[in-house]
Structure 1
Amino acid sequence: MSNTAGDSRSLLKRGESDVSELSVSHRHSYHRMDSSQDLNDPAPSLPSPVPSTTATFEGDSAAGLGISNKRTSIQRVPVGSRIASMSSPRAVSSPFSTAQNSPLIIEPSKPLLGSPRNIYEGAMGRQAYGSEEEQDVTKGRDSVFHEDFAGEDDRRRMVDNDTLNDNEHRGACPPAHDFHSKRSSWVSISILGLSLFSTIFSGLYIFVPIWQPRYGHIISSKGNLTLSTASTLFALFAKTIEISFVTVFITFLAMLIALLYTTASDALVSPHLKFGKLEHKMIYGLAQASYGNPTFITANCATPVTRMMDPTYGGNACISIDYAGQAYHNSIAYMSTWSVISAGNGTSSNLAERPQAPGMLYDNTTVTGSWILRDTSDVTVAHQKYNRVINNISLAMPHAGVLAAALNPRNAILQPDDLAGLGQYSLQASVVSPVVNVLCINMNKTELAPLVYVTWPNATTTNVSTVPGQKMAWPGYEGDSQVLPGKQYANSTVVDDLFWWGEKYGRQPPIFPMYPIDYNTLTNITSPYSDSVYLLVKSPNTTDYTMCQMRSFVTPSCSTHYNVSGTAGGHLEALCEDPTDKMAYSKSTTDAPTVKSTDWRNVAAGWMLAVSLNTGITNSNASTSRQLSQFVIPTPVSGDVKLNATLPSLSEYLAVMVGSTLLSSTTLSTYYHYWNWTEPDLPDPVYLPFNASLTSQQYASGPTQRWEGIFYVPLLLVFVTNVFCLVYLFLRPGLVTDYTEPQNLFALAINSPPSQALDGSCGAGPRGNQLNADWHVKQDQTSGHVYMADGGSTSATPVLPQDYELRRRQATNDRSFTSYSKLSSSRSSWL
């Protein structure tokens, strides 16, 4: 016995504390129960303060120690019960005494085993527990009043601390709140609400990029939302969905797709400028006058000079300045292009491959014309057929009214200004296009004589010319230029069939007062019953004179394209004679004819005077006339004729200069090949519809590049997951406390007993196999105390399945315990 006592003292020594004075091997917390007592008695008598024990058990290997090597059930004094004999201290005769009625004397001033963890202040006050050598052998039993005892050898070796701690913490920290939240609790309602919100909006966020809506005027600089506001709102909703999704789904899993959700939203859902599909629609444009109406054009010229200030010539002066300015602007742009070509290797003689006619509208929209009727423009073919230089050019310009229609609010087309100056769109209008035909034919002096006044018999001439031998017509020559009695048309010429003059064609030829000298031009704008104006040019490069006829008509073989960009500006273009062009006017209005204009000649007459093309009557040597004369195609001595690869032809240049009148003639004019009203102009404009196709940039959702389609995956997964979570939350009765949250885990760990599985880890943390220990949340069935214990076992102390985790048990009425057992349901789950 002395050796045994000595060993016991050495084993119970902790640090520098010597606790040998205490009989620590006494089982002060447990007392043997009379074997005669019926354990199945549903109402056993209360245990006596000092229970009796039997001195010797059957088969004891350590007689006198009071310990059996067989598993024997004894009664335990419940924790917190008051022991009357505790108040009367008694000396302990032997550390292993088995005498009855020998209560343990506890000295509060001397801690047992020298370790604070052996003293626990529970609900019933400060209490002391057994030594580290004591073993809780109740593990694996349903009843809290049963325990197993091992022999002395088993008692002396280190046992599973988890079992000890199970006894130590019974009733230590009963939960103040149920760890199961009912469906009616604010937590469950909040989570369900967040799940519903996240599901609806994540579904919307996957639907939006698939649908790819275009927001039109809703998101624009002048609309309800600007781009910055819209982007902020979309990002806010995306972040809200992301946070709510993480909040809801973290209850079930952590997931990588949450990290990509905002990025996916920015790529697919947030509005970006992007082109939509080509849409066919009806466009409405304002019309107030017929094509080429000179009175309407003059009256609508923008000038501060009112009719009261200059009732007769105010409008004419305004429109003349406009004609001159536009003509010079276009010619300068055209010459700049040709200067580059001339400095290089030249260009083609094929009209389709030569520079197109430029133009300008409202000082902010560039215009490009189109050469049409190119089968009649071949100079070589015409020379071979008629043995004459025939320069026949037809230029089609876009309908200027399309630009006004595109800007009209009725058509609701988003302009670049509506998109912070960054948007663009393309409008293809199925309308007629105005055309000017310039026909220039070289004629020698004799061939031209029937149309020159000074060559006629009895012509009145003057000799004031500074050019020797030149005859000049007197100022009143026009009164003498009358058709002979009995005739309807003026003198015939060898080129009547080329210019369509005479009785056969019903058109009068022009009459010029004299022959111009080199570098000079003369005009005729007064031919009766004519739809054309004429220009007579003398080039220094040939002995012949060149007669040019200019007239206009509208063609159904074109469509007008208007492209506008916030960075590049607007561009109006005529697309003509393209068999693949579905928006040509002839496709919208079948059998539409080409209609000549008789009004346009009056517009062209004002243009001719504005650019001073009649200064040759005084031999003024005007700069414009000089330049025009150098573009005449000379009559070859022999061989074929073709367009100069380094210079524009006279007809091309004239068409470019006069092209601006085509734009002014279509401003607020009809979009059709006819005019529906008897009056040439209306007091107020009316809307006329026409077919058009539109492709435009708007703020829209969806990918802007093909690779961004990969972001559909996180959007779809978030939505599907939200649907699953929402269904789950509707089907389950409530929520269970998540013990992996830091605050919950801390409270659980600090109220749990130490474990041998982590022995020695208090200083530097767990290492090696300690990281492989599995842990389970357990609950005391009597007090409801929840604590954490490792799930390991030893060969000496087998662990039963019910020890590992909380499960539903019939022996308890604790609802928390029953609720938490749902986490350990045996049902399989794909999660």
Structure 2
Amino acid sequence: MSSDDVQRNLLSTPSDSDFSTTTTPRFSGPASPRSPGTALVVPRHRPGYARIGSNDGRGIPEEDDDGDEYTTDITEQRTPSGLGIDNVPDEAAQGNRARRVSVQSVPRKSIGVVSHKKADVVSPDYPAGQESPKSTRASIQALSPTTNDGPVPPGISISADDGRRSRDGISHRSQKSITSLSEAANLQVYEDQEPLRRNAAPSLRSTRSAYDLNGFDPRAACPADVNFEHSRFNWFGVSMLILSIFSTIFSGIYFVIAARAPRYGHFVGTNARLSSSTASILTTLFAKLIELSYVTVFVAFLGQALSRRAFMAKERGVSLAEWSMRSWIMQPGSMITNYETLRYAAVTVLGACALVASITALLYTTAADALVAPQLKFDNWRPVLMQGPVKTIFADVAFIEQQCETPITANQDSDVTTPDIIGATCNQIQHAAQGYHNYQKYLAIWSEVAKSGMGSSDPKARPAGVALLQENTTITGSWIDIVDVANASAKFNNRIINNVSLAMPHAGVSTAAYDARNGILQPKDLDGLGVYNIRASVPSPVVDVLCANVEEDDIKDIVYMETSAGKTKPLNPTTYPAAVDFGKLNNFSITTPLDDIFGWGPENQQHPPMFLKLPIAYNTVLNQTFDYGRESIYLLGRGGPSQNNQLFLCQLQARQTPHCSTNFTATSSGATMVVDCDPNDPMAYIRSLRNASDFNSTTSKDWPSVASEWGNSLSLNAGISDGNASNARLLTELALAGPTLNPALPSPAEALAALAGNTLLMSTEYAPFVEFFNYSTTILDTPQYQYFNASIRAQQYASGGVFAYQKGFYIVLFVTFFTNVLVLIYFLVHNHLVTDFSEPPNLFTLAVNSPPSRLLAGSCGGGPKGHEYAVKWRIGEEGSHLHVVSEEPRGFKPRPVSVTSFEMDEGTRGRSSIMSPISRTYSKYSRRRSRL
């Protein structure tokens, strides 16, 4: 018989007259016809199955006394209650006609050496009753268990079983090793099949078909109904292109925003167009969308690259570790659980890219929240031209009295002859409130210094005056023009001289900072969390206090009660100073030993002061004898017995200096103002107005009027009637006993400067921001705005991160954007897409329709291990059918596999070895309960 006849016989269906059907349920198909002198070729046709009768006493295999099975011939009468499967033609299954068949039952023992004790298999090529020389082999072949490679080929022996059966009659304990079926089979070659493409991976067709062993013809049985390569203008290609474009554009926007770090100003805030919480939610939402689209697009790119590599003949194939790279991105934890994939795939270029992509995808939302989401952030110092309202000159007492708030009016007080009295009364209360408060804070600071023992005699290191403006702004002054007590005392014949100058910030800066014209975001506009700093180049007010220890003889000519007129006509303190003719006293004919110290005389055009009387111990008096034009007020005090009843005379005057600047800081809890008088301060007013150097020596002639009301409100003149005021007592107890400063106590000059600090703030609140006042009236009905130089650093909602460590997230944003660009280029360059076999459903479909491979022998239970991840796999073609093709790498050593089966309790199946004793105990307990 020729080969063509053999092939026709293989493809034809045997009729009933050719041979009798010997069936072995679940394990074998019908025996193949065989001609003498030809090789036995057994086509593997899938048998038709029909239901056989149930256990009704007919056609049931029985055992004889020896335990062997014998076969009974039955007439096939089908009943609906049958559950068996009979390997018979479809006509018999439908019950059209009865037919005598010989049924070979499945032995209840495991299949070993086949015995034909009770039944013979008759070959169709020999008469009935005459056994074929090859019948034994054919019978074994017909009764052999079916594997993936088909029934056991001729010449393959099957070892005996130990007799333990399962419910299917198949042994679960031990099936000895079976030699390779692929090498023993005679594989048929199909010469007429050609690859679909020239670059397709080579198939086994060049030598033999991988499916010939089990009679599976891929051309007829499993042709691909969808081409491996398809147009990109389908749903998958278009959606992937859209996602890639979206991810690229928005990741680029996020990177640019993070790099430029824009400040959103009035766009994001409490009452702005976009609230901070909404901005944060939108940023996180788009970051998550970018992350999801990035993961989707990059996983699709990996699938395209790997599938193309697996299909191209010139490529080296794809390993299991590379197929697993998609899980790195979608499930980053798999890099820990399946660490072996990193070992074999991360060293490749594509694996390194996948590893970087998995890290960036994992950190992208965090990076966007750190660098893109709006956060309160300080910007750098930037110069600005600010403007503030101006209403009056510096230290205008009339304007200060107008600004004082009081419910008393002229109609409510019949004794009031002028509105100035109401304003003066209110002004003195305001002085007392602010002055005492500031003084108490100053003394509290000194109390802490004295308790800690950290005081110093260095004037620069001693606490400066503090104040409170508008009940929410803390003011801190600074000592300037430092004069050493010892040096000054030595200059004036060892008379103790205490000279200090306290500079305070310009209070108008606070008003300008809150003015809407400057457009500064206030803390209330930033959810109550904003902070900003201002350095204003404006003049700073200064109070100069000069105190000298004196004797009664030094001042007897300037104390009215000590003069001849005072002794002749004593005055009642209630009538002083109205009853005194100061025109006769205010002349340059009076000279004292103190003229050079305080600058009295015709040279300076300053008259000495006039006091009513000498104060008693622990009391102070003020001079009230001056007309407009005097630049100072004076205080005369006497210490107690502990100070040896020492008298001291102090001069107070005010001016503005161009050598300082004002620093203003606003927070949600309040504001602070500090005067900066550092000689190297670039924002000092002298840097803005170069010709303001002489302005430093100009003393205000308006401030004494303010200071006079201040002194009266603080009971500094209560000594005129021996009032024993508490403030005067505390002040006189600070009198210096020597030419050094007490490190634990302030000096009288320092205390008076701190006490008078509030007058400087009241004098500059609406005063000019320059050294001159160029308006016709001293009080303006409509505020006029003046510009001044300043630099500002403010917190606003901005991108770009706040802390230095957040800068590292720039790498994540850049890598994401750069990767998106490359992936987008990849999708644009390739006109066609391929089936993504990295998708688990696609890969499973390809694998289940592929022949087995010894390269993964033994991995069906626990999965691949070690070097099995490095085995390269390609996609081969069998006609229009695709399947997995592998080539055994050089030096590959498959794991040793023992086919000896084992039995596993249900309680321990799938459990770890640590839990095995517990699971076995539980299984035994469960079985014991089931028996009860």
Q: Give your verdict on TM over 0.5.
A: yes
Indicate the residue corresponding to 2:425 in structure 1: 317
> Which secondary structure does the structure 2 equivalent of 1:702 belong to?
coil
1:380, 1:793 → 2: CA distance?
Answer: 100
Deviations 1:30-67 (A, max 9, x none): 9xxxxxxxxxxxxxxxxxxxxxxxxxxxxxxxxxxxxx
Count of equivalent residues: 670
Indicate the residue corresponding to 2:788 in structure 1: 690
Indicate the residue corresponding to 1:333 in structure 2: 441
What are the ranges of 5 or more consecutive residues in structure 2 without an aligned counterpart? 2-18, 35-39, 46-98, 100-121, 127-140, 151-183, 197-206, 303-353, 414-418, 891-932
Measured after TM superposition, the shift of residue 183 of structure 1 is 3.6
Q: How does 1:216-615 map to 2 (within 5 A)?
A: 216-253=265-302, 254=354, 255-256=357-358, 257-305=360-408, 309=412, 311-345=419-453, 347-374=455-482, 377-387=483-493, 388-459=495-566, 475=575, 478-484=578-584, 488-489=587-588, 491-528=590-627, 529-540=629-640, 541-566=643-668, 569-576=670-677, 578-592=678-692, 593-594=695-696, 595-615=698-718
2:453, 2:814 → 1: CA distance?
Answer: 60
Indicate the residue corresponding to 2:818 in structure 1: 720
Measured after TM superposition, the shift of residue 333 of structure 1 is 1.1
Q: 1:300 to 1:171 in 2, by over 3 A?
A: farther
Kept after mapping to 1: 8 A contact 2:401/2:420: no
Q: 1:535 to 1:772 in 2, by over 3 A?
A: closer
Kept after mapping to 2: 8 A contact 1:553/1:597: yes
Kept after mapping to 2: 8 A contact 1:294/1:602: yes
Measured after TM superposition, the shift of residue 752 of structure 1 is 4.5
Q: 1:472 to 1:206 in 2, by over 3 A?
A: same
Amino acid at match of 1:434: P
Kept after mapping to 1: 8 A contact 2:388/2:786: yes
Kept after mapping to 2: 8 A contact 1:162/1:756: no
TM-score normalised by length of structure 2: 0.66
Q: 1:288 to 1:398 in 2, by over 3 A?
A: same
Q: 1:135 to 1:588 in 2, by over 3 A?
A: same
1:347, 1:767 → 2: CA distance?
Answer: 76
Amino acid at match of 1:297: I
Measured after TM superposition, the shift of residue 13 of structure 1 is 10
Deviations 1:219-240 (A, max 9, x none): 3333333333222222222221
Q: 1:698 to 1:456 in 2, by over 3 A?
A: same
Indicate the residue corresponding to 1:813 in structure 2: none
Amino acid at match of 1:233: L
Amino acid at match of 1:702: G
Kept after mapping to 2: 8 A contact 1:516/1:538: yes
Deviations 1:521-556 (A, max 9, x none): 111244123122221212222455322221111110
Indicate the residue corresponding to 1:69 in structure 2: none
Measured after TM superposition, the shift of residue 623 of structure 1 is 0.7
Amino acid at match of 1:657: L
> Which secondary structure does the structure 1 equivalent of 2:583 belong to?
coil
2:775, 2:819 → 1: CA distance?
Answer: 67
Matched, 1:662 2:760: yes
Measured after TM superposition, the shift of residue 416 of structure 1 is 2.7
Amino acid at match of 1:381: N
Pick which of 554-563 and 748-757 moved more: 748-757
> Which secondary structure does the structure 1 equivalent of 2:405 belong to?
coil
Kept after mapping to 1: 8 A contact 2:663/2:674: yes
2:124, 2:852 → 1: CA distance?
Answer: 33
1:347, 1:764 → 2: CA distance?
Answer: 79
Q: 2:884 aligns with which of 789, 795, 813?
A: 789
Amino acid at match of 2:276: L
1:362, 1:428 → 2: CA distance?
Answer: 20
Q: 2:838 aligns with which of 728, 737, 740?
A: 740
Indicate the residue corresponding to 1:23 in structure 2: 33
Matched, 1:673 2:771: yes
Amino acid at match of 1:520: N
Kept after mapping to 2: 8 A contact 1:757/1:790: no
Q: 1:727 to 1:771 in 2, by over 3 A?
A: closer
2:863, 2:576 → 1: CA distance?
Answer: 121
Kept after mapping to 1: 8 A contact 2:618/2:637: yes
> Which secondary structure does the structure 1 equivalent of 2:564 belong to?
coil
2:506, 2:646 → 1: CA distance?
Answer: 37
Indicate the residue corresponding to 2:125 in structure 1: 94
Pick which of 580-589 and 687-696 moved more: 687-696
Measured after TM superposition, the shift of residue 440 of structure 1 is 1.7
C-alpha RMSD of the superposition: 3.7
1:398, 1:768 → 2: CA distance?
Answer: 76
Deviations 1:444-463 (A, max 9, x none): 21221111112233336678
Q: 1:363 to 1:116 in 2, by over 3 A?
A: same
Amino acid at match of 1:790: V
> Which secondary structure does the structure 2 equivalent of 1:337 belong to?
helix
1:668, 1:547 → 2: CA distance?
Answer: 32
1:768, 1:342 → 2: CA distance?
Answer: 76
1:730, 1:165 → 2: CA distance?
Answer: 44
Deviations 1:141-192 (A, max 9, x none): 5399xxxxxxxxxxxxx98744557952223344454554424333222222
Q: 1:674 to 1:207 in 2, by over 3 A?
A: same
> Which secondary structure does the structure 2 equivalent of 1:687 belong to?
strand
Q: 1:494 to 1:739 in 2, by over 3 A?
A: same
Measured after TM superposition, the shift of residue 726 of structure 1 is 1.6
> Which secondary structure does the structure 1 equivalent of 2:752 belong to?
helix
Matched, 1:138 2:190: yes
Q: 1:597 to 1:19 in 2, by over 3 A?
A: closer
Kept after mapping to 2: 8 A contact 1:212/1:702: yes
Q: 1:165 to 1:371 in 2, by over 3 A?
A: farther
Indicate the residue corresponding to 2:11 in structure 1: none
> Which secondary structure does the structure 1 equivalent of 2:221 belong to?
coil
1:512, 1:504 → 2: CA distance?
Answer: 23
Amino acid at match of 2:885: D
1:474, 1:314 → 2: CA distance?
Answer: 20
Measured after TM superposition, the shift of residue 370 of structure 1 is 0.9
1:588, 1:722 → 2: CA distance?
Answer: 52
Q: 1:774 to 1:347 in 2, by over 3 A?
A: closer
Indicate the residue corresponding to 2:234 in structure 1: 185
Measured after TM superposition, the shift of residue 368 of structure 1 is 0.6
Amino acid at match of 1:382: A
2:221, 2:684 → 1: CA distance?
Answer: 91
Kept after mapping to 1: 8 A contact 2:876/2:885: no
> Which secondary structure does the structure 2 equivalent of 1:603 belong to?
helix
What are the ranges of 5 or more consecutive residues in structure 1 without an aligned counterpart? 2-8, 31-88, 96-109, 120-131, 145-157, 464-470, 796-831
> Which secondary structure does the structure 1 equivalent of 2:448 belong to?
helix
Kept after mapping to 1: 8 A contact 2:611/2:624: no
Q: 1:792 to 1:214 in 2, by over 3 A?
A: same
Q: 1:710 to 1:340 in 2, by over 3 A?
A: closer
Amino acid at match of 1:197: F
Query: What fraction of aligned residue pairs are identical, expressed as a percent?
Result: 39
Kept after mapping to 2: 8 A contact 1:489/1:503: yes
